[in-house]
Structure 1
């Protein structure tokens, strides 16, 4: 895992443009998914303390992404992306506009033309972003209102989301033997729930016990964990009946998580071989909704995530030796 990631932000006033080069500690497939899947985009796109919420997304040439950025006072600022050209896992371009909730463009704000180019480099992926503005005045206004700072925070949101969700899973698996786990998400009540389950099933926590968001090592790659989040549960494992494993985590809204009934539980299968991981993923996901294709992750696992055709959420997680 690379410790120092490329981040270059350049303003070109002669061309009325901004160029951003940003490196991520993930493979191309995962980074592309993070930029083009609305469920994942809603987790990181808006700079804190704003939240992002997608109304509709049709990711195809001629399609549109309609979303709102919601302020701490629940004020909704609507935007839309009209997709122009898409080359799968290579690049996509779109026109970005402020609008109303129905996608009607606001004439008060100038639009911008975005081109995002993705390239894989060893264990990392670089996204090269060019944003073209209509005039120098429009460019200067965007810079003046803090676009660089806000976009930097969004990139850090994505880093932090990936790290908090996946990094410690490798450390918690104490055996290479195949197992099936249920992965539960809570809105700050993970500790309360798991202490209750522990009492009912009369078992003990395994792995590293209760791990909290405050246990994530400090790093210049992401912003500090807020005090109100540090005591929340990052990861916990508890054997129940028949040695079935319950895993759990808090999904704090302060970090951009949107928890609803239906996305708060996954069945997590940890097979013994990479081939079995592929077989399970390919067969279970038929006619379903793939949110993360199987790929080698920076945290040492071969991982994928999807909902099957019946709406059941699954994770396939093979730990590379």
Structure 2
């Protein structure tokens, strides 16, 4: 289990009305994933996740100005409808990647008929964490939480 380090890690939690299974469906269905993963009007495409250790965690984001951002990573750990750990420090097959930015831990905790959704971004330094925060971590990830909450609740 990972210990939260307030110097290097960022975390958001939100209660969602939908069950962990519905929230998980929004992670595992590429069409649903593309609807919530980035703050609108950013577009998400080419979603390719393989939900097993060593599997791909890839997608492409297109910013409103047309900038295309391909993101490639690796699934490190998966417990369906409970926990997903991904990182950009590796690509599929646990291949080392270039400059790592973060490891993301997503936890779906059953609570009061819904889900406590906890997302933790682990960084290799306090400086990297501060940079991510300055890039808009809380606003951006908070927006995606709202989008995911609305989408997953609409499926129930």
Q: TM-score, normalised by structure 2?
A: 0.83
Residues 43, 62 of structure 2: 8 Å contact kept: yes
2:102 matches 1:92: no
The structure whose Rg is larger is 1
- Runs of 4+ residues over 6 Å off in structure 1: none
Partner secondary structure for residue 63 of structure 1 = coil
Partner secondary structure for residue 26 of structure 2 = helix
Tell me the residue number matched to 1:146: 136
- Equivalent positions of 1:218-237 (< 5 A) are none
Residues 80, 97 of structure 1: 8 Å contact kept: no
- Equivalent positions of 1:163-242 (< 5 A) are 165=154
Root-mean-square deviation (CA, aligned residues, Å) is 2.6
Residues 23, 124 of structure 1: 8 Å contact kept: yes
Structure 1 residue 112: deviation in Å? 1.0
Q: TM-score, normalised by structure 1?
A: 0.43
Partner secondary structure for residue 59 of structure 1 = coil
Once residues 35 and 55 of structure 1 are traced to their aligned partners in structure 2, the CA distance between those partners, rounded to angstroms, is 10
Distance 1:120 1:35, change over 3 A: same
Q: 1:161 aligns with which of 144, 151, 155?
A: 151
2:111 matches 1:121: yes
Distance 1:58 1:74, change over 3 A: same
Once residues 122 and 114 of structure 2 are traced to their aligned partners in structure 1, the CA distance between those partners, rounded to angstroms, is 26
Q: 1:26 aligns with which of 9, 18, 25?
A: 18
Partner secondary structure for residue 77 of structure 1 = strand
Tell me the residue number matched to 1:40: 32
- The one-character-per-residue Cα deviations of 1:83-124 (angstroms, maximum 9, x if unpaired) are 11112222121113699xxx99453xx421122221111321
- The one-character-per-residue Cα deviations of 1:269-315 (angstroms, maximum 9, x if unpaired) are xxxxxxxxxxxxxxxxxxxxxxxxxxxx3xxxxxxxxxxxxxxxxxx
Once residues 127 and 159 of structure 1 are traced to their aligned partners in structure 2, the CA distance between those partners, rounded to angstroms, is 9
The gaps in structure 1 that reach 5 residues or longer are 1-9, 167-296, 298-321
Once residues 37 and 91 of structure 1 are traced to their aligned partners in structure 2, the CA distance between those partners, rounded to angstroms, is 16
Distance 1:160 1:42, change over 3 A: same
Once residues 97 and 39 of structure 1 are traced to their aligned partners in structure 2, the CA distance between those partners, rounded to angstroms, is 26
Residues 79, 97 of structure 1: 8 Å contact kept: no
The gaps in structure 2 that reach 5 residues or longer are none
